[in-house]
Amino acid sequence: MLDVVQRGELLAFIADQDAGAKGLFVPFFGKLASTYKSIGLLALHQNLPIICGYAMRRSQTRGCQYQLGTTDVIHPHEWADHPDPLFYVTARYTRAIEKMVRLALPQYFWMHRRWKTRPRWEREGKAMPVSVRKNLESLPWMTPAELDSLGIPIPAQDLSV
Contacts of 2 (CB under 8 A, 6+ apart): 42, 46
Q: What's the pTM?
A: 0.88
Tens place of pLDDT per residue across the chain (161 aa) = 888 888 888 888 888 889 999 999 999 999 999 999 999 999 999 999 999 999 998 876 677 888 999 999 999 999 999 999 999 999 999 999 999 999 998 888 777 789 999 999 999 999 899 999 999 999 999 998 898 888 766 555 555 54
- Residues counted in the chain: 161
